[in-house]
Structures are given as C-alpha cells and as structure tokens.
Chains A and B, each alone.
Chain A
Amino acid sequence: MSSLKGWKDLPPATTVPASTSEAVQTGQWRSMRPVWDEEKCIHCLQCWIQCPDKSIKANADGKVTGIDYFYCKGCGICAAVCPKNAIEMRPEAEFIEQ
C-alpha cells in the first residue's frame, strides 16, 4: 500500500489526469503471489510466453530475472507451466506490509 497516494495527494473529484491504464496498479487485485526460485529455473521462458500480464521479467540474453508484481494478478499460469516447479504460489497474506 505504501506506493499508493493518500487522500491529500489525490486529484479531486474522482478525476484522473491524462487518463491511461498504464499507471493503474492492477496487481492490487492479487490474492496469491508467484515466488520465483532462481536456483531451480532453467530459463525455458515458458512462463514469460504464457503470462497474460507481461509480469515475468527477462533480459536481452533470454534469462528470467524475476517477477514484476505491478500488474500480476496471481493467476498462477506461470507456476502451472513451469517444468521445474521453480515458481511457487503463496498467499498474499504472508507479504502484508504493516
């Protein structure tokens, strides 16, 4: 929650300046979080191909580098397609920031 604005900093009247969905943190909807284990990963990129939210981060060398949680809704496709069980789905409750 800490990356979200407080009521004093929000624009008034429900408005969004120059509206775009790009800045909307849809990852807020997630209840299960994919957690990537670098040691098990063989960089087959199955998860990168299948992710519907472009949330698997990979570099120019074709290596997975992690998961971007900004849009990730926790659908679990990445964990399901992983041939090495390198992605574990864990309850979001374990990650609540106080």
Chain B
Amino acid sequence: MPRKDITSGNWAVAEAMRQINPDVVAAYPITPSTDIPMRFSEFVADGLVDTNLVTVESEHSAISACLAASVSGARVMTASSANGVALMHEIFPIAASYRTPIVFGLVNRCLGAPINIHCDHGDSMAERDSGWIHIYCEDGQEVYDTMIMAVRIAEHKDVLLPAFVCQDGFITSHCFEPVEFLDDEQVTKFIGEREPLLSLLDVDNPVAYGSLALTDYFFEIKRQQVEAMKHVEKVYNDVAADFAKITGRNYPLVDKYKTEDADYIMVIMSSAAGAAKETVDKLREQGHKVGCLRIRLFRPFPASEIVGALKGAKGIAVCDRAASLGAAAPLFTEIKGALYDAGIHIPANTYVYGLGGRDFFPHNAEEAFMDLINNKMSPEERYLGLRE
C-alpha cells in the first residue's frame, strides 16, 4: 500500500535515494541541500541501504568521486546547491562526455555575491550547456517522483546522460507537505538494475575513458552527445507513461494549465507556478482567458511541445528566476528561439522575478498578466517584486 507522509522536498529526495539504494553516494553538504546527504547518511548508518557513502572534502571531490564510480559501473547519486554546484562545474561536462548517468538532487539557490542562501535558478542555469538533463519540479511530490524516474531516463541505453532534478531551495526543499511514497519493492522493480555499457571494472573488455582527442575526434564526441540529447524526450515520455501506470501521476515534458483556449499565457518554472496557476483561476473567474505553461524539462529543451502550447496565444509573459546579465534571461531566450524556428511571432514580455529568494506572490503574477491583457508589450526586461 502506498503510504503518505508529511515531508520536505529534501527529505523526499533522501527517501527516494533510500529506496533506489544507489551503489555510491559522494556528497558534500551545502545549504539548502544539506538535508539530503545528512538524512541519507542516517540511512547508511542504520544499515537501511547498501550504499558506499563517500564523505569528501569539497563538492569538486564529490562529483569527481561520483564520476569515477559511475564509469566503474555503479549507480551513483549526489546532491548540491549554489556555490557547491559552481565548484563542481569543471567536472560536469566530463561526466556528460563519459556518459555517466548520475542522478543529482539539485536544490536551487542563488550564486553570490552578496551572500544569500535562498532560491533562484542562477546555479543550475549556469550549467545549462554542460550536457546534463535538467528537470525542474514544482513541489515535493514531484521531486520524489522525478528522482525515481530520472534513474530510468539517465541510464537508458539511448541516453546515458547525467540528470539534475531541480527543486526550489527552502520554498520546496524545506516546506513540509504531504507526499505519497511508493513501496520499496515498487521502486526496485521500476528502476531495475543498472546495466553499464562500458564498465572500467569489466577486465574482460578493457577500455580507457577520457583519452586525448584533439582536432581529430573532439568534435565527433560532442556530436554523439547531441544525439544522446535528441533521444531524451522519447525516453522521458516512455518512462513517464510507465510511472503513471503505477502511480496515476502524470508528468508531461511541460505542464499545461488551462492553456488550451488561452489568449494570454505565463511561462514559468518550478514552485512559482503555484502562484501563477492561482492567478490564472482568479483571472478566469473575471472572464480573462489566461493560462500557465510550466516548463519541466529544460535540457533538452522541448521546443515543439512548447510551441504547440503557445502558438494560439495573443501574448505571452516569460518569467525567469535567473538573469543573464547583459543579455536576455535564459528561459526567455529559449522560448523566443523556439517560436522563431516555428515561424510564429507572438508578442512576448520578459520578466525576471525572485532573485535571491524574493517571494513571488499571486499579485506579481497578476501584474504580468495585466500587462498582456492591457497590451503593454515591449522588449525591455521587466522585474516583478523589485523596488525601484
């Protein structure tokens, strides 16, 4: 029987990890993801998992240990945030090139300065070209479910890429809410055993990873990674369909909330979608045809799904919880690019919100929707919840 409990986003990740029972976890604590390795270390100490927990001296060492364990054929997981993620940066593209299906609980927190422990997406957005899968979750249930799905997606033979499962620091990671858990046996059965393609410990089939590849082969190896990314959407959809069969919970690439007949659509990611959806309901009661499109899969970017959801709109508001200083915000850039490729020119406003954990309220969402409804459109970046 599935059990339901009141838990936090971080504890939901740790519980998923207990049930997944990875071979190796190498982690270094950093706020707000500290709870994940902390709670998981209790599971290790209590003998509830078979995991080799590697306690290291830095995040760089954590991800390096994860990389080495993964190419050795182990199922590997870790977690981090903000500056920890930034310190790991050097190893991320290597993990992607080595095709290590590491599943990573990424708890979004802004990158200083000024020093700040709260949420924005600046840490993971800085890794968007590192070759990892990025999935952004709205709440604790989704975080738990996505950790389990991500193992299957990352390890699929057509994909073999590491995956970030992102949740909003404190807002989701520390908020206690009801989460329904699968039985341990269901998780074990759902994820199966990892079947490594080329294990370093397979002495009968020796291989070298990461040899020098200069002008001759580097480009071709990047092209292989491009191809792997192209397979993610199909594998994701297959895994999500299997997951829905056992849980009844559906997780499409993008979450379309009342977008079907909407004239005006807000595009947003992660926990802020809650305030956006509440505002959609309120404005619908007032007769405005509005909707919310939440992007769950950010890498690879599901452009055609997004275009399909936006193409009938008269105006869109793209809300980024990250700024690209000196250029347009990352989600906005991607949305514009997707629409351009589809030959669709919808007026679009770009809003940056929530930097450094600034709250995103329904009245902030309403402000953006009213800009669309009142045809106040322009290309300049706008800010929600910022003091002038």
Q: A29 at interface (Cβ–Cβ under 8 A)?
A: yes
The proximity string for A residues 9-25 relative to B, scoring 1 for CB distances below 8 Å and 0 otherwise, is 01111111111000011
Q: Do A13 and B217 touch (CB < 8 A)?
A: no
Chain A neighbourhood of B216, CB < 8 A: 4, 25, 28
Q: Do B207 and A5 touch (CB < 8 A)?
A: no
Q: Do A28 and B214 touch (CB < 8 A)?
A: yes
Majority-rule SS of A interface residues? loop
Q: Do A14 and B223 touch (CB < 8 A)?
A: no
8 Å CB contact of B224 from A4, A12, A16, A28: A12
Chain A neighbourhood of B326, CB < 8 A: none
8 Å CB contact of A16 from B98, B205, B211, B220: B211
Chain A neighbourhood of B221, CB < 8 A: 7, 10, 14
How many residues of chain A have a CB within 8 Å of chain B? 18
Q: Do B208 and A12 touch (CB < 8 A)?
A: no
Q: Do A12 and B214 touch (CB < 8 A)?
A: no
Chain A neighbourhood of B217, CB < 8 A: 4-5, 10
Q: B198 at interface (Cβ–Cβ under 8 A)?
A: yes
How far is A19 from B211 in the complex, measured between Cα atoms in Å?
A: 9
Chain B neighbourhood of A17, CB < 8 A: 205-207
Chain A neighbourhood of B223, CB < 8 A: 7
* CB-CB nearest in chain A for B218: A14
How far is A4 from B197 in the complex, measured between Cα atoms in Å?
A: 23
How far is A33 from B48 in the complex, measured between Cα atoms in Å?
A: 64
How far is A10 from B215 in the complex, measured between Cα atoms in Å?
A: 15
Q: B349 at interface (Cβ–Cβ under 8 A)?
A: no
How far is A17 from B210 in the complex, measured between Cα atoms in Å?
A: 12
Q: B160 at interface (Cβ–Cβ under 8 A)?
A: yes
Q: Do A15 and B198 touch (CB < 8 A)?
A: yes
Chain A neighbourhood of B215, CB < 8 A: 28-29
How far is A12 from B286 in the complex, measured between Cα atoms in Å?
A: 56
Q: Do B97 and A13 touch (CB < 8 A)?
A: yes
Q: B1 at interface (Cβ–Cβ under 8 A)?
A: no
8 Å CB contact of A6 from B197, B207, B213, B220: B220
Smallest CB separation, B232 vs chain A (Å): 16
Q: Do A19 and B208 touch (CB < 8 A)?
A: yes
How far is A15 from B72 in the complex, measured between Cα atoms in Å?
A: 13
Smallest CB separation, B52 vs chain A (Å): 22
Q: Do A7 and B220 touch (CB < 8 A)?
A: yes
* CB-CB nearest in chain A for B228: A12
How far is A4 from B218 in the complex, measured between Cα atoms in Å?
A: 12
* CB-CB nearest in chain B for A15: B207
Q: Do B220 and A13 touch (CB < 8 A)?
A: no
Q: B121 at interface (Cβ–Cβ under 8 A)?
A: no
- Closest 5 CB pairs between A and B? A19-B208, A13-B99, A7-B220, A7-B223, A15-B207
Chain B interfacial positions (CB closer than 8 Å to A): 71, 97-99, 160, 197-198, 205-217, 220-221, 223-224, 227
Chain A interfacial positions (CB closer than 8 Å to B): 4-7, 10-19, 24-25, 28-29
Known contacts A14-B209, A19-B207, A28-B214; 10 additional CB pairs below 8 A are A7-B220, A7-B221, A10-B224, A11-B207, A13-B98, A16-B211, A17-B207, A18-B206, A18-B207, A19-B206
29 examples of A-B residue contacts, CB within 8 angstroms? A4-B216, A5-B217, A7-B221, A7-B223, A7-B227, A10-B217, A10-B224, A12-B197, A13-B97, A13-B98, A13-B197, A13-B198, A14-B98, A14-B210, A14-B211, A14-B213, A14-B221, A15-B207, A15-B208, A16-B208, A17-B206, A17-B207, A18-B206, A18-B207, A19-B206, A19-B207, A19-B208, A24-B212, A28-B215
